[in-house]
Structure 1
Amino acid sequence: FSYCAKDLGLVLLAEIDEAEIFKPIAQLKNQIIVISIIISSIFVGIAFYVSRTISRPITKLRNAVDRISKGDYNYKVDIKSSDEIGHLGHQFDEMRKSVLETNRNLNMLVKERTKELTDMTNALDATAIVMVTNRDGRITKINQKFIEISKFTEKELIGKNPCIVKSGYHRTEFFEKMWKTISHGEIFEGEIKNKAKDGTYYWVKTTIVPFLDENRQPKQYIAIQNDITDLKNIEYALQEALKRDKESAEIIKRHVEELKRTNIELRRKDKLKDEFLSMTSHELKTPLTPIIGWCGALKTPRILGDLAPQQRAAVETIESNAVKLEKMISDMLDAQKLDLNEMKFTIGEVQVDLLFNKIKKDFEPLLKEKDIQFIIRAETADIRLESDEARILQVISALLYNSIDFVPKTGGRIEVTAESRDNNIIFCIKDNGPGIPKDKQEFLFKKFYQVDTSLTRKHGGTGLGLAISKGIVTRLGGTIWVETEEGKGSNFYFSLPRKY
């Protein structure tokens, strides 16, 4: 080391050991090297840590993505770290599970829909004639029924135009309209006559449905057909028959018109008959009143004195026959009124006990005279209903007269009962007569019907009593029926509502 001071005329020289000078530098160099080694080690450790905590999970995640993207939804994402990457791996695994479950559900749904479609296709193949064509109208698929009806083989049909079965029956305009309809994406329906390979003709009711692509343009067509050949043959035969029998149809039409006129005339005559019957019945009934009255007077000693036995028997014969005739005429009038809907009804409160007392008073002497056991009772006390007492009495009387006429001469038994059931009152007239054959029961309530219509029949009457009874019960809102068996007597029932 040297230093020169010119002003002083001095020069300063100094010597320093080189090792002493560079010693601090060497120490600094060594320190730097040590620090560099330590820092490098730290970086290597950090790199190793990063590799284990970041790179490896990312690699696992990437591998999982590759596996799952190839369809391996069962591959599990195994990242155990608790940082963001671990959280991401956990979320990705949950997404994998969700996709796996969704995929399974979709597969099941696809299987179900495929089965349904297969079943529908099988059902369609089994019941209909099916043909599928491409957008150009070339046949791409046909079912067995198409082969059977057309007589062509599948090989002869595939790739061909449906014109292969064209019969020539339809005009060109028909097919042009059909093609215009389906090519615009609309459904065509119509009846087409085709020609089979063997030259026979057949008719099909056809529905052509276009299948559209994503641009709403037809990509293929499916034709579903049903064989209606038999129907068209019948239709043709009917048309021919109509042509042949046009003249006969005109004759039938004239006959129908004549029948209509005859029917109108018959109705007019029927009305006149009803009016005549009504008038005649009334006129016949009018003189019977004094006849019956005078018969009663003649039997009274105060009028003509005591009658001889023969005279009294004659008067009683006149009286009984007049009463029978009066009843017959009354029945005819009542039947006529029911037909014309002119029968009058008086609705009021009916006490069944009082009604039965009247019936007992009216019929007991007659039944004692004929030695017939008579029982009349109400199953329930104090039965009341809103109806027409006189008409109920008329129905029960008619049924009683009917039973009196048919019970045996010795050991005869008639029972009249009434009971309340729900909102109805059920009346029953039971006898131990011969019963009614099953084949005749359905006609019992018809006008003028007699079970025994022979010339030697034992029982008289007009056959109107049951018909009138049914008419009255029906007008009162009830029903009437019979339960009987041949040889075991008869039970006649009629029910009336508690409230009219």
Structure 2
Amino acid sequence: MSYIQKTTFVAFLVASLCIAFLTGLFYIDLRNVLEASEQEGVTLKILRSVEVLHHSLQYAGEELIRYKQTNAAHHLGSYTEAGTELERHVLALDAVDSSDEVQQKQLQQLIKAVYRYKSAADSILKIPASAPPTQPLLASVDDFVHEQLDLLHEQVLLIENRSRAILQAADEERKQQMQNTLKVFIWFSVGVIVFFAICYMLVSKALFIRNRMEEKLRKSELLFSTVFYKSPVICCITELGTGRLIDVNDNFTSFFGFTREEVIGERTTDLGIWKSIKDRMEVVNRLKLNKSFRNVELQLHNRHNEPKDISAYGEILTLDDRECVVAAFVDISERKEAENASKRLNALLEQKVEERTKEIADYKYALDQAAIVAITDEKGVIRHVNDNFSKISKYDREEIIGHNHRMINSGYHPKQYFSQLWRTISGGKIWKGEIRNRAKDGTLYWVDTTIVPFQNAQGKPYQYLAIRWDITDRKKAEEALLQAIEELEEGAAKLKEAQAIARIGSWDYEFDSEKSSWSDEMYRLFGTSPEETQPSLPALLSFVHPDDVDEVKDKILLEAPSGHRSFYYRIIRGKEEVRCTYNELQYIHDEQGMLLRVTGIVHDVTEEKLVQEEKDKVTADLLQRNKDLEQFAYIVSHNLRAPVANVIGLTSLIHNYTPGEANFDKCLDGIQACTRNLDEVVRDLNHVLQVKLEHSETKEMVNLSELVDEIKTTLQNLIVQEEAVIYTDFTQVGELYAIKSFMFSIFYNLITNSLKFRHPERKPFLEIFACKMKGDIVLNFRDNGLGINLDAHGRKIFGLYKRFHLHTQGKGMGLFMVKSQVETLGGSIAVESEANKGAHFILTFKS
């Protein structure tokens, strides 16, 4: 307990005793006053009673004398009443209990005298009234009465004098008592004032000394806090012998989550901040050997058991004759986290590359197993062929590599055929067609060929991928069919047999008579019979798919310039079975060149079409994945390599500086910025890969009007702010079977692009409508915004990180994601646009 606290406690105790003393003193005075007041009340009551008694005695005596003089009855009644009143007053006076013995004795004497007087008066009344009153008798009665009254009067005066004396004595005693109390209070107050004045002086002196000491202490603490408490690094002072903490700075408490009171005097091991006791023993051993340690990286725990990476510095100093360890720590958690994040990103990147490489390898394996593959350079020199190529061409791989495809040219196709092929692929477009080749042993074979050009950054092809499918059997079947048709007149049975084998029906139609005939296979193809269906052109068209019927009718009725026409169309067999057919028409004329009839064949190629569509799908998917891999490689080489190199460089550079230096902090900031860039690129990459790889969401019928309304609600503030008008027309197509989240993302990106890239001189207007075209569903997004210069940006409009207007924020991912999601849904996207004239995006989906 401090000196000031002790002084204050004593003052409080004395004040409490003083209050108790004054309270007791005033209580005693009040009690004495109360007793005196009660005694004065008794005395005053005696005075009044004696006075009334004296008057009653006089009145009774006078009435007694008058009665004796006149013998009047009313005087006797008055005397009787006065006697009764006299007895009442005597009883009241007898009931008074005076504390003064003399007064009490005088009252008893007065009461006895009154009783004697009353007894004598009553004796006078007993004298017979018939006897005439004589003068001597009357004189004696009068003298007796006055004599008794004088005696009573003397006693009354004695009582009154005694009562007045008692009252006066009480007044004197009260005055003396008040004076004594006042003196005691005055002296007591003076003593209390003097005591508290002394206490105040003592406390003031103690406070003055304390303030001076505190001022010196504050200056000392201010100086010490500048170099210790406010240090930007984490500092602490530990007693070497006991390991107890003597002092810590603010950064220490905030870093570990303790208060100063919780850590001062405690051991670091008791606080539980060491992750490993071995680390502590290593630091202690370094101190014993070198008296200091430098740049020791440790991992400690804060109060919440969260790991913290630090770089520690320490030295042994003597403070107050004690050996102490002054230690400083620098938080390197962010640097460690950046290094770990860099390692994780590198590992993730390697994993993604490995996964993508394996995926491409799997697709390549599948393609090699099913197709004939060859890769050439830009000049057509073969650089790679798979086993199927060698198998069908009969050439070994070593014989083929380094040569061009002329070595397997059969000479069947004209030079113009291959010239058109080269013009197509050298222009960056995909070529599809059928080619007859010659194997090493001279045998001929047919291949359905798709050639895909791979382009460099300048849009020039640097190699070509040729994917072929062996269709020799199909071509033989077609040749057999044509031969069978030519030999139709020689034998209908042979034709029917050939048609049944090849699943080919034939028919003809005469234009003049509108008569038609069908082969037996035609009925089997249409799933009907001659009894159910009469052959005619309307009957044939009735089996055609509704979406193809107009086109088929035009092709039949309108003669081809060459007199021959081939095409595909769909038929409906039964109620719901849709089949795909290949058709060839031959128009026959008379000698004058007038059109007589048309002959046609119908080949059921549903299975072949499905196989071909699957092949095309695999080819397109392979091409798209190859493009994705190229894009992925581009991101790795351009977007990840620079941040990773920066992180490595800054991590190496930071070891040249010590914590607390400006360059050290700049290096940490640089590492954090590079890590954020890495994380952003990887997140974008994962987002793209998820669109490509994850199709677990179920397709459903998506209501296009409701979808637009939902997006308009989301963008309500932006639409109102830009005063935009969005017009929709889904009367032809109201629903689309697709993944709803993909459709929401596609619509959202295209609508927000129209609002963000509005033309500054006109209000945004966006028209969204759907229609059917050649059996496909076409979605149109047409706006009046800034538009895009397709001559300058046409090849990269759907590229990743491609931006064409820099006045708004963005990453250049919107159109890339739209294209990826459209293609994932099996559709395609095209754009028509001119600078400052708006843009028109056309999305096509299979019905």
**What TM-score do you get using the length of structure 2 for normalisation?**
0.21
Higher Rg: 2
**What TM-score do you get using the length of structure 1 for normalisation?**
0.34
